[in-house]
Structure 1
């Protein structure tokens, strides 16, 4: 069944658990994280008042669409099929030819009765928005087609530009990227004439501020650019940046615009600590795009052309370019709460949710955690508190290599044929790592059976492992046979594998205590292990999305399965059914990984090109 051609959709996180939110996001190919770009807003809500509240909370100002005297509320729109099905485009905003239209005769007849020609568009024009019940999406996915919106519609409004106060009605040009660039050019011209201007809305980046309030942070002005700067042609945007998936692009470890990207990463961390998962994913998408751009930015006009970089990113770039820091990170630096949340989040074993819980309990430092909550901590968190200062110290490449060498020597005590690859940030080319991740494998799969127990025991006796925090032996327990996939929700932890592994605390030669992960993979899936444990977070997320949407496959580090029947597919070669099974086992680990790229229809990317941030 072909995918449903949805219009731009914004998904409200209200009343959704993180796992459900991410699952729904993955099901929407037209998902946008900028609510101002959305034609439809979907949420787990049921009342018009709640829909209007959510729009206000997200700082999207609207006015109810009034067509033939209707209020724009669901109960009024239901009496007018034409209005419920669509907002008729303004004469100055042409509809996209690619947008799928409703084919239901009732909706089409509604427009015909109202004097309009043709089928209506779901979502209408760029300056209108509909808030629908979430069940519209699930019903569309279940039936494999767009459904009429009448019975799902909660609210229909016309977007009010944030920079304008209530005025007599005027026509507004569509908020497109082209309009934004022209606007930037106009402002540049005004700046050169000494006139103050800004193309950006007066949105404050601090939490709690709302549009239209007098205390909102004033918009930044563009840096004055000389005529010669405008005469320099902008470099061409590479074709690979127009791909949907970051796993299809080369993303170097040291991008030309690394300083600004680091600032965006800081903002993403703030979003994470605030519990804004939508914001985290939106910033991750923008960071991945900017990291893959091969040229140093010459100005805002260049950045505005890039996919996934809307007006907000351009605004942040302008702030950073003028002062070396965005207002959001500057404000956070002077806010005690954010400093405490960041401190707690840096404890190994403590996530953003737990950090906020610590703060709600009134804890402000490690002494509070130890005095008031020590017995409530997991063992992993207790270790994270105990070695907090040491775990903050980055691990240089030479020390990573030394640790890996010791692990390999203990593996080869079991058999001389064992091979090892250092994965994670080290393999991507980072100068320093936060922890050490290694993959052990052997061409003879009988040798990897129960190996993890032998290696960990030997390293403990040798005094290298001071604490074994987690030990998984599931792969050996099932005889290392590839595990079929049982459908969504069958394995907890998105993208997590079922390989044998140990997560330990390591110390050697008087060095600080280090975090080390030892992964053991049978040779038949060693390419998946390397691929799954190497790429940056967004690379891995997009790889799973690509496999799901484009190939109908389920990927994780322990293998690839067909979503149709859950069965394992041998793409690397070396045993079993499926693509690649007619070939001999790969001669080395990297060749197995290259076969995996080829089998998935992806261009080979060296590990140093998978640094999506």
Structure 2
């Protein structure tokens, strides 16, 4: 199959999951400089949309003004060159003797696309899928939704989507970055956003689009004094483990040397989350994970720029932070009334960022508005989240986490002796305070864990420790406590992280001394997650519920890309034949002696170096 010479493409996030976006971006980046995250650079906008009206909406949402131009025959290949109509599914027609013909056809198509830098075309995702499958550029007829002339393409730059972090290219030396920055001045009419995108990712599209941006605004430079330059010549070496794109292969402490700056980046990530920018969230997560694993205190922006997964974007943010002690984006968001309201709604247990934006769009501006105007529209779980809003935000000290967990273990062993427990989540990673309590219960007798989650909840409700049950899942018992079957890339509800039996509950210590002044239990309500795992896969449950979010994301990606495996907290399956892969039993086939040993065996079985829980704090 030949490699299509694609135009510059901008991918819309609409209707695409994070995994789908990541997969498409990886495939495009593998073909060379064809993917952009700046809408102004794009020649094609590709999205999972089907109507012209939606295409116009997306362009307006991206703040790109256009005026429609009539369709022309230049959008199509010459009739003799056209291979398929849009409905044809047999795209694998290339022969060994036609490689040069394929390239010439692709070049002709790209010439049609490049006819004007001032126009942009919005096409259906099916076009890109067909093109990638066939190995040559498909004609646009049947896929083109809209073509418009960019009205403001030379009137300054527009906001862009954050680029995700591709596997790191060879790391440049600090002096190379400086020299490259100086060289940029020579053609330095490049916009700030364009410059950052090029430096941050894998060099996407900036070299061959240089002439297009020669009339744009000069980018900011990394200011460097002579002293800083001398320091850069003696920067500490980048640890070998940072050259991997998988944070599950790195030691990441709970309190890294550059924690204050990392916390500022985390605030930006929250803003991206509230705005629904999935790609931005993933990009910042990758940068945060890299910086959190970097063992040295940063001294300059150039030191940041050389780190895999960071680049010039994060370097400029560090320079701003070093010079001012803050980040303007964080400051602006903190004073933005809309962001402030979205944060309040997002912190309601049971409310995701999409629901928070929905509440805001309804005109609600605080919890009182929700209660007054929308109470009956809330789910029971969301109502509980509003009712105990302030209490759920209170942190839980370590000793209280341990106390709650031990009470649950005592109840479990009263019902069926022999249960064992591991406290997971932030507690196991070493946090002094936790947002909730997470624990995994397991038993060596598989019959004991079957349907046990309902029994433990009833026992704790009887003693008034559990005041509300938010979610009660028995999916694992319903399928006989077998790991979730792997069925290719088909996505089904109820698969993945939430496949174990579990009870997400509201907890309150029932012990208190009533007085004339205090007639109601004053103990705070806490959030507690009780996870039940069969012994044969308990190590997966402990691993899945212990590690930081980015660690977990990269562990799943590592299993997929490097081992052809599917990992989640219910077990490991082969992506080849769907079978369960047992990494927890010993060489003799005997089960692990305890849950922590089982977890260590998973690391070894996956070819990963063991990382203590407090080394998995990727943020």
TM-score range, shorter chain: 0.7 to 0.9
Match of 1:530 in 2: 542
Shift of 1:488: 3.7
C-alpha contact 2:409 2:421 (8 A) present in aligned 1: yes
Alpha-carbon distance change, 188 to 219 in structure 1, aligned in 2, over 3 angstroms: closer
- Distance in 2 between the 1:367 and 1:147 partners? 57
C-alpha deviations, 1:409-453, integer Å up to 9, x for none? 111112332110011111112221111100001112122122212
- Within the candidate set 87, 103, 108, 1:108 is matched to 103
Shift of 1:600: 1.9
- Distance in 2 between the 1:178 and 1:80 partners? 45
Shift of 1:305: 1.0
**Which stretch has the larger CA shift, 531-540 or 33-42?**
33-42
CA RMSD of aligned residues (A): 4.7
SS of 2:546's equivalent in the other structure is coil
Alpha-carbon distance change, 181 to 340 in structure 1, aligned in 2, over 3 angstroms: farther
Shift of 1:22: 3.0
Alpha-carbon distance change, 299 to 485 in structure 1, aligned in 2, over 3 angstroms: same
C-alpha deviations, 1:33-63, integer Å up to 9, x for none? 962599986433689999899789658999x
Pairing 1:583–2:589 present: yes
Pairing 1:568–2:580 present: yes
Match of 2:315 in 1: 314
SS of 1:289's equivalent in the other structure is helix
Pairing 1:26–2:30 present: no
Alpha-carbon distance change, 304 to 102 in structure 1, aligned in 2, over 3 angstroms: farther
C-alpha contact 1:12 1:44 (8 A) present in aligned 2: no
C-alpha contact 1:264 1:283 (8 A) present in aligned 2: yes
C-alpha contact 2:190 2:217 (8 A) present in aligned 1: no
- Within the candidate set 132, 137, 149, 1:148 is matched to 137
C-alpha contact 2:443 2:534 (8 A) present in aligned 1: yes
- Distance in 1 between the 2:321 and 2:239 partners? 25
C-alpha contact 1:102 1:146 (8 A) present in aligned 2: no
Pairing 1:547–2:547 present: no
Structure 1 segment 484-523 matched on structure 2, within 5 A: 484-492=485-493, 495-508=496-509, 509=511, 510-523=522-535
C-alpha contact 1:162 1:202 (8 A) present in aligned 2: no
**Which stretch has the larger CA shift, 337-346 or 307-316?**
307-316
C-alpha contact 2:507 2:526 (8 A) present in aligned 1: yes
- Distance in 2 between the 1:288 and 1:362 partners? 36
C-alpha contact 1:9 1:42 (8 A) present in aligned 2: no
C-alpha contact 1:7 1:40 (8 A) present in aligned 2: no
C-alpha contact 2:47 2:125 (8 A) present in aligned 1: yes
Pairing 1:597–2:595 present: no
Structure 1 segment 181-220 matched on structure 2, within 5 A: 184=178, 201=192
C-alpha deviations, 1:267-303, integer Å up to 9, x for none? 1111111122221122122222222222211111111
Alpha-carbon distance change, 501 to 228 in structure 1, aligned in 2, over 3 angstroms: closer
Structure 1 segment 130-169 matched on structure 2, within 5 A: 133-139=124-130, 143=133, 146-151=135-140
C-alpha deviations, 1:342-400, integer Å up to 9, x for none? 11111111111111111111111111111111111111111111111111111111111
Shift of 1:246: 1.9
C-alpha contact 1:428 1:610 (8 A) present in aligned 2: yes
Shift of 1:339: 0.6
Matched residue count:
549
- Distance in 2 between the 1:3 and 1:130 partners? 24
- Distance in 1 between the 2:227 and 2:182 partners? 10
- Distance in 1 between the 2:306 and 2:65 partners? 26
Match of 1:556 in 2: 568
C-alpha contact 1:395 1:435 (8 A) present in aligned 2: yes
SS of 1:568's equivalent in the other structure is coil
Match of 1:299 in 2: 300
- Within the candidate set 25, 35, 38, 2:37 is matched to 35
Shift of 1:140: 5.6
- Distance in 2 between the 1:61 and 1:375 partners? 41
C-alpha deviations, 1:495-548, integer Å up to 9, x for none? 323211101001125541110000010100001101111121122122222222
- Distance in 2 between the 1:151 and 1:478 partners? 46
SS of 2:536's equivalent in the other structure is helix
C-alpha deviations, 1:173-231, integer Å up to 9, x for none? xx9986996564687999xxxxxx999827999xxxxxx9xxx9997675553426524
C-alpha contact 2:235 2:303 (8 A) present in aligned 1: yes
SS of 2:467's equivalent in the other structure is strand
C-alpha contact 2:10 2:42 (8 A) present in aligned 1: no
SS of 2:332's equivalent in the other structure is helix
- Distance in 1 between the 2:5 and 2:458 partners? 54
- Distance in 2 between the 1:478 and 1:425 partners? 30
Alpha-carbon distance change, 548 to 511 in structure 1, aligned in 2, over 3 angstroms: same
- Distance in 1 between the 2:191 and 2:177 partners? 9
Higher RCO (CA < 8 A, seq sep 6+)? 2
Match of 1:17 in 2: 15
Match of 2:206 in 1: none
Structure 1 segment 211-610 matched on structure 2, within 5 A: 222=222, 225-227=225-227, 230-231=230-231, 232-492=233-493, 495-508=496-509, 509=511, 510-573=522-585, 582-610=588-616
**Which stretch has the larger CA shift, 486-495 or 373-382?**
486-495
- Distance in 2 between the 1:50 and 1:446 partners? 53
TM-score, normalised by the number of residues in structure 1:
0.76
Shift of 1:486: 3.4
C-alpha contact 1:503 1:517 (8 A) present in aligned 2: yes
